[in-house]
Every structure is written in structure tokens, then in C-alpha cells.
Structure 1
Amino acid sequence: MKDRWQRLPQTAGAIFAGVLLLFGLLVVTQADRDYRYQQQQRVQVRAGILAASITAAVDFGDTQAVREALEPFRVDPATRAVAVYTADGRLMSGYALDGFALPRLLPKVPPKGNYSAAAADIVSGGRTIGAAYLVAQMEPLSRRLTRYALIATLAVMAALIVLILGLSQAALRRANRELQHTNDELVQQMAQREKAENELRQVQKMESIGQLTGGIAHDFNNMLAIVIGSLDIAERRFSTSPDRARTAIAHALEGANRAAALTKRLLAFARRSPLQPQPIDPNQMVANMSELLRRTLGEGVVIETVLAGGLWRTHADPGQLENAILNLCVNARDAMDGKGRLTIETLNCHLDDDYAERHAGVAAGQYSTIVISDNGPGMPQDVIERAFEPFFTTKSVGKGTGLGLAQVYGFVRQSGGHVKIYSEVGEGTAVKIYLPRYFGPAEVAVTPEVADLPRGRPGELILVVEDEDQVRRMSVDALQELGYAVIEASGGADALAHVRERDDIRLLFTDVVMPDINGRQLADKARALRPDLPVLYTTGYTRNAVVHNGVVDSDVFFIPKPFTIEQLARKLRAVLDA
């Protein structure tokens, strides 16, 4: 009995030490559980923000826009995987780091261990069209345990004081209340900060949309004023002064062409302009443009070309590339006030992984490069950062639309390339266009020039399919003006009925975007009836039916809206004679 009483303090001390140890472990476990919960909530919020930001891109099936929306996550070292899945759970686009294998189907069970994962539905018009999936890595357990050690020590000391002195219970409660209050304030501050960041992003987005909308409205109002006013004048003068009426009509056409050019530039910036790429020798293109540039830029600008030997070919739309070079040269002339030296240089260039990492959306590899440089006043850094924004210009009112560089940017990025401005105030400016090297066949496609306007031949019957009545009437009138026989249909069902009844139809001329049956579906059904029937597509906005990744499908004949009678005549003859 005496030995038992002697061992009692030792037993009580061991029990007390065990209780304190267990208490410390409970504190650490709870702290880690709270940390994991907060990390999971943060990942869930980020997944929800991503899902909201890519709704339009997923709804249109625009994989390129989705891929660009995921790029900013690469700079976050905590993000290990991010992906976007379609409504049926299939992977649309994404990336994973450090050995993560991105599942082809939307995961049902999130990653375990030191990772947190979340998925957020992408909703459009009340229906779920996909899901955004995000995996983030938490702090290493060793680092968290180090942070929790102080908390555990304080808790153990508090418990020890309670047991020894019996006086610290109230103090511990006060400490817990203060800790809870601090935690509540921290959570509230985090929520307020996140709300402020969301509001700031929304304000910036609305400012950009407002600037773009204002610029479009301003320019289109000017052009519509020309068109409407000139047509009104022509109508009044038609019977009394035909010559003056024709002049007014010419002015209206000029305004309409300017509106069409503005729309084309906006589509180029948005990377929605349909491209018809060909193998291009940049040296030959620059040489062929020399005379055009001299006439356009004037005698005050001295043009120098430095063409590299053994220059790599590239694969791009020649008309768009010529327009991009011309835009940059005109900008350089305006920067030099019409007097100075302009240099157009070509060279081969290799962009390495380090450069690609520092420039979002740029792939490492070999590029054929065109450099347009001037000895003008140069640009400050804040102007360089905004130079490619649509309707941003440093020129005075009426001297520029602010769409030239935006069009260049959109075309180059849509072609898989990269454009970069190098400038210093007082030292001039150089703009470099990097276009991917082309490894295809050596033959460079050449578009033959036709002197006379091609016309229809006897027996050439064309079926016009267009759901817009006024556009259809215009197309029919244009084809009849060119000498073709024409039958028309307002939709796919009527068109297929004509194809079944008339075996003398030589060509199907159809809009792409139509209700019920789009142009590509109509062409497939018509060719099932008439395998030899050629098809010419037209549209004012590219969709995935005949254009993929901004490039017209190789087996497709295409003419974009709006088109002139001359453009239509040449395209029709090319299709019929192919």
C-alpha cells in the first residue's frame, strides 16, 4: 500500500502529461482542419470565377478562347491543374503540372493528400454547358506544423496554468473570444478584398466594353451619315440631275465600303476573321509591295529594305499580311510626320522556352520575322502597353481610328504568331511580326490576276439560299447582273426540294448561319443527292461550320460578307471552273 501511494504522483504526472499531449494534438488537428476547409473554399471560389469568365467561350465551343482564359493560372505556383469540361464531362482544354495526369472525364473524387480540388458548373441561359475544374496544392505539412507549434504550445501552457493555478479558465475563454473575433475579422477582410477585386475586374471590363462600343458607334454613325445622306440626295436628284445622283451614289458606296472595312478590322482583332492561308515568301511579298508603299507613304519617307538570305517561308493569309505591313508602315509615317526613314527587314528567328514563358500565348520555335522600324519620336511605356487596344490612338481627332494595330495583333495571333513593339522616346520604334516557319511543300501559291470581269455562261443555273430576304434579293440581283440563271430558297428545306427537282443546278450558293439547318449541313445533304454539286459558302461572322481555329477548311469555297459584284464574279468563276 505504501509503495502504491509513493507511485501515485508519478502516475498522476504521466496521466497529466498524456492529457496535455492529447490536448496539443487536438489543437493542431483542429487548426489543420480549419486550414484545409479555408483552402477548399478558396479553390471553390476560384473555380466559380473561372466558370463565370468563360461562359461565352464554352457556349460557342471556342477552344482557343478557353485556352487563353486558362493561361493566367500558369503563373500561380499553387495551381497544379486547371481544366474545362463539356456538359457531358469530356475534357475541352486544360493543363497539369508536376506529374498530374489530367483526366479525360470530369473527376468525381477530388485528389487526396496535400491537394484541394473543386469543380464549378458553367451555366448559360439556365442550362449547364460544362464545368471548370481546379486543383491547388496546400502548404507542406511540415510548414503547417511549424506554424501550429506555437498555437499548440500556448494551448498546452494555458491548460497547465488552469490545472495548476485554477485561475486561467476565464483568461482562456477571453483568449478564445479574442481569437474568434480576430478570425471573424480576417474572414470578413478576405471576403471584402475578394469582393473589391471582383468589382474592380468588372469595372475594368465595363470600361473596355464602353470604350469599344463608343468607338464603334462613333465610326459607324459617321459612315451611316455618308450612306444615308448620299442616298437621300441621289433619290432627290435622280430625275433632274443623273450625273449628280451618280456622284452621290458613289459617295454612299464609299461610306459603305468604309463600314465594311471597319467590321473586317474588328473581326480581325477578335480573331474571328476567316483566314485563307497560303505558303508565303516574305522577301517576295515585301519586294512586291515596294511600289505600293512608296505611293502610299509619299516622297518624304525614305524606304529601305533589308532582306535576309535563306529566309524561311511562312503560312498565312497573304492579303491580311499585306494589310498588316501596310498598316504598320502608315503608322510609322504618321509618327514621323511624313518625313523620315522607314526600314523593312526580314530575318529568321528562334524564340526559346525562356522567351515563351515570359510572353503569354507564345510557343517556342522557329519564326519568319518581319520588322518595320522608323526613326520617329518613339513611344513611352504606357502607350506601348495600350497600343494594341481597339480605338486607342495618340493621333488627334479625325486623324486615326485606333484599329490599325488592333487588326495587326488579331491577325498575327490568329495565324499562330506573335507581335511585339520595341520603342524608346526619342529613339524611334520597331514592330516585329513573328510568323511560324512553314515546313510544307516548296510551291508558293500564286493567285492569277484576271483583267476582265468574269460572267455567267449559258445554262449555268445557281441556287441561292439565304434566310434574310433583303440579302437574298441583293445576291439574286447581283448574279442576274453577271448573266447567271438563278433560283432562290429562304431555308434548307426549300433548297433541298429544288435540288431534288432540278438536276440542272450548277452551283449551290448558301449562307452559313441559318435557323434549323446551317449551310454546312445543307451542303452535306445536297451532296448526298448530287455528289458533284459545287458549293460556295458566305457569312458575315465565322462559325465552326466551315471555319476552324480561324482558318477556312481546305475543302471549302468561301466568300465573306459583304462582297462586291466583282469579288462575287471572280469567286463564282473560280468555283465553277475548278
Structure 2
Amino acid sequence: MAYGLDIGGPVSGHRMIEGLPLETDIATGEAQGGDSRRFQLLVDAIDDYAIYMLDATGVVSSWNSGARRFKGYEASEILGQHFSRFYTQEDREAGVPQRALAIATNEGRFEAEGWRVRKDGTRFWASVVIDPVRDEAGTLIGFAKVTRDITERREAQQALRESEARFRLLVQSVTDYAIYMLDPTGHVTNWNAGAERIKGYRSEEIVGEHFSRFYTEEDLAAGLPARALAIAEAEGRYEKEGWRVRKDGTRFWAHVIIDAIRDDNGKLVGFAKITRDNTERRELEERLRHAQKMEAIGQLTGGMAHDFNNLLQAISGCLQMIGRGGDKRRNARLVEAGMQAVDRGTKLIQQLMTFSRQRQMDVEPVDLRNALLSCIGLIKQVVRSDIEVTLALPSGVWPVQTDPVQLEVALLNLAANARDAMPAGGRLVLGAENVGAWQGRADAVRVYLSDTGGGMPPEVVARAFDPFFTTKATGKGTGLGLSQVYGFAHQSGGAAWIDSAVGAGTTVSLILPRAADAPKGSQVSPQASAPRGTARILVAEDDPILAPIIGSALEDLGYNVTHVPSGQEALDLILAGRDFDLLFSDIVMPGAMNGLDLAREVKRLRAHLPIILSTGYSEEAAAQQGYQVLAKPYRIEELALAIGNALEAA
């Protein structure tokens, strides 16, 4: 229904107020299809809008309650006055009122926002619409004017703009974090100062480029960038640490968070990405882990020294008794006993080298039963003989996803703390149990170490995992042991906590995630008789005791052996044209050329000559370069088998 508005004169006009069309026949004062009086009451009742009429010169000819509320004038005060009095002094001087009427006349409508002035002189921000009103002949007879006070909306918009500006300034001022946006396909849409500092790209160089350029080649090949966005889109958030690449090609260790951004309808509009350079923190953690290994080795030293003295005594006794003569069966038993002592010493050395090796956290599926059975022997080396050590290991314990070396270091640190907590002796229990879905997460296993010591008060338990916190006397502890345990558990994707009370002992628990894959089977050294041969073997070994033993053993098997005490002398024979069928060299030798240098040079000169290297240190460097390596000590049968296989392959 349309309502008429009586403004005194024959006009027709059209207005829309909050979706309500108004069609008036002012010549009769009749509403088309309705009651003029009802419409007049409707307009007067509206107080959210100032709705009034102007004559053709801009003089106010009608007034409603909304106009009275906004502007402060009674109808008797304003009717007959020019509407320009509502404008500011500067707008009047600039001719804004006249220009508004001219635009409405010529274009059929004027719409703008600006400051207006109330009767009391205060200002408000107004939304103004002016429509021309014409009679049936098209002659302009006045204007319909609708004004709304939108001061609060403007202030809210202004506050929002200021807030956005402050936020942009804040983001741009942050230099410790790379904070930037991606579109839904992963292309960079903005860039802050922190991103420029960390990654090396200026904004004009990187905006519009795909964020995958920050990833390493191996991560790109594995599809990591696309997977990161897919996880963020599906789960709302992606968080991970890994290597990233700067503009200059150097790498840094980054902590990355990607959050999905959606509009009010839930549609994905992009991603917010925050990256922090954690290279220094990672290096510090690696140094801390290595320090913990060294501390653990110190705990092991006393027990291992005792064990090695026993092993040396056993070997010495066997050799002395063999030297006195005797029947073959007796000597064979002595030889076997001596070899068992050597094997046990070999295992102790390997464990010690594993602990001391500087290596990254290497998470893999670990057979927890085998790991704890192996560790229990090390723990017995750490604690005293007045402490009973037992293993509580039920059947069916799941494999866990962790670093086996770090697990042993953590348990040794806990054992050392337990030992110190039981100065008069006691009982130490190492155990494990499946815990199922731990705290709503995936299946996990709880590994624990319990002692019967004096326990700790709550205030000590609360700080026990803090780095460098210790209750021991000066020089008796670094305060790093439990912090290493805590860090190890969390880096494995688990947790750690302490249950303790004064007089009730202490239990430290580690939660480790269940491994999805089966642990790798342990490799067993091949047991075979030593193969014989007649090949010409060049042996480079600097140890004056070991070299003749190796030479004699190989000659007994039929090989033609040439021995030199250094890598350079071995290379000189090759350069002189001597023919050999195989090179067997120690890696660590005095002089400018070690065994690995020798192997590289011989491989360059005689690509088809088989090479076997040997070392009492880590064999990783040589093995990574493709060389076969025998770890000392080795059995003669192992050496002979390796030589036979290498010659056959050549």
C-alpha cells in the first residue's frame, strides 16, 4: 500500500524509506489507495530518520519527529528557514548546500555523507539523500530530504580502520617472526619486516610468488607444501618444525604455523602463516643433548672400567694358559672363553660410542622390550651394588616411536638421580606398560623408573624439570639430567611427569607414542668358516701389534700379503705400478693421508680395485661414501668373508 504525504501543492514524488515505497498525489492530498492522514502519522512516528520537504529554493516546508530529535529544532522554529543552516560554516562557504540541490535537480538524486550541525551547535555525521519532487508537468516544485545520524557507525568504522592500521603497524614492526598471508592456492599476498629479515626477500620480490619456494628440494619432492595447506584447510591449523631456505640459498630451522582463514559463510579465503627462525635454539638443544650424553658417559665410566678390567683379566688368563701348552680341546675352550670376553668388550665399546656420537634426534620404531633389556645392564653400571635393580616388563608391550639412543640417555640420567636419592641402598624398578589412547591421543606406552629413596616435596617436584635446577651440593650435579628427560619425551611426541612424596620414593614416567611400523630386525653377524684364497692383498695398518696379526692370519688362509704402515706408502706402491687384487686399510692412520683419503685416491686411479676399510671409531662417514667398513674388533672369519665377497663381486 502507498501513502500520500500532504505538503501543500500539486506534486507527485517517489521515496523509499527502509524498503517502504511512498507515492503521493499532493494535488489532492490523497494517498493512492490509502489514507493521507495515516501516512502522515507514519512519517511523524519515525524518529530514526529526519524526513522533511524543501521547496524549490531549499526552504524547509515540513518536519517530522526524527528531524526534531536529530537536529534539535521544533517545527515552529525551522519551517520557513533555509536548510543550509544544518551545514557547517566551511561547507556553506564552499557552496555545498546549493551544489547538493543542483545535483539532485540535474541527476534525479543526491546522496552523500558529511558533518551537519544541530541547533545547539554540536555536530553529527549524517547520511543524506535528496530527491527532486516534480508536478505532473515535470516542473520542479521542491525536494524530499532524508537524513540519518550515523555518527556511531562512523566512529565504529573509524575505530576499525584505526585498529587495522595499528595491527598493520604492529605486524610490520615485528622482526622476530615472519608474518604473512597466502591466498587459497598458496601464493603470498602480503609480507612483513620479519619475513624480509628472516627469508631475505623484499615485498616486491615475493608477493604473488608461491610459498613453496621457501622449502628444501627434498621437501618439495615429498610434496610437503601442498600437504601443509591441506592439513591446515582440513583441521584449521598446521604446526611443524623443519628446514627452510632463504633467498641466498642458506638454510634455517623454522617453527611454522599455518592457520586457515574463512569468511562468515565458512568459505576458505586464504591462510595466515607465521614462521620463526629457531636455528639457534635447535643448536642449543643439540649441545644440551650432547652434554647430557657426556654426563651419562661419566656415570658409566666407573662401572665400565671395572668390567673392562675383568675382561682384560679373562683374556690375559686365557692367553697365559694357552702359552703353557696343553691338549687341543683344553686350548679350544680357552680360545672360546677369550673370544666371548672380546665380544662382551666390543658391545660395551659400541654402546659407549653410540652415546658419545654427536647426532640429531633420530626417531624410529623401537622394540621396547629389547631396548629395556639392553638398558638394564647399563643401569646396573651406573648404580651401586647395594641397590637392587629389577625389570617390570609385561608381555605384549607395544613398540614406540622414539630415538633409541636418547631413550637410553634419559633412563641413565633417571637411574643416576635414583642412585643419589638412595645413599643407603634400596630398590630401583624399570618398567613399561601400554596405556591405550593417552589423553584422547593415539596409543602410547608408559616407561617408568621407580626408586625407594627419600622422595621430594611438592615445591621441588614443580621445578625438577627446569634446566640447571638441582638440590645437590655444588659440583655434584649440573641440573640438566631431568630437563633432558623432559625435552626428550616431548620431542618424541609424548610427555613426562614425576610422582613423588617425602618418604615415599619417586617415580618418573615417560609417555612415548606407539610406533605405526614394526621395528627393524637386529642384524646378526654372519657365522661362517673363513674362506681361503691366493689373491694379492695390500694391507695398510699403522698399529705395530695388530698389523702382523692380520698379515699372519691372511697368509695362513693362502693370501699373498704386502703390509705398509701408512696411507702414503700404500699409495706410493699403487703409483709405482704394483699389482694388487684388494686394498685393506685402517681409516685412522698418522700422516697427511688417512685411510679414507687413500681409498678415494685409489678409487680414482684404479676404479675396479676392491677396497675394504676398518676402524675402531664411527664407520658412518666411510659407509656413507659407499665403502665397505669392518668395525674393530672383528673376527678373522669376518675379515676373510668380507675379502672373499669383495673379490667375487669384482
TM tier relative to shorter chain: 0.3 to 0.5
> Under a length normalisation based on structure 2, what TM-score does the superposition of the two structures give?
0.41
Name the larger-Rg structure.
Answer: 2
Please report the TM-score for the alignment, with normalisation by the length of structure 1. Answer: 0.45
- Higher normalized helix content (fraction of residues): 1
The structure with higher relative contact order (CA 8 Å, sep 6+) is 1
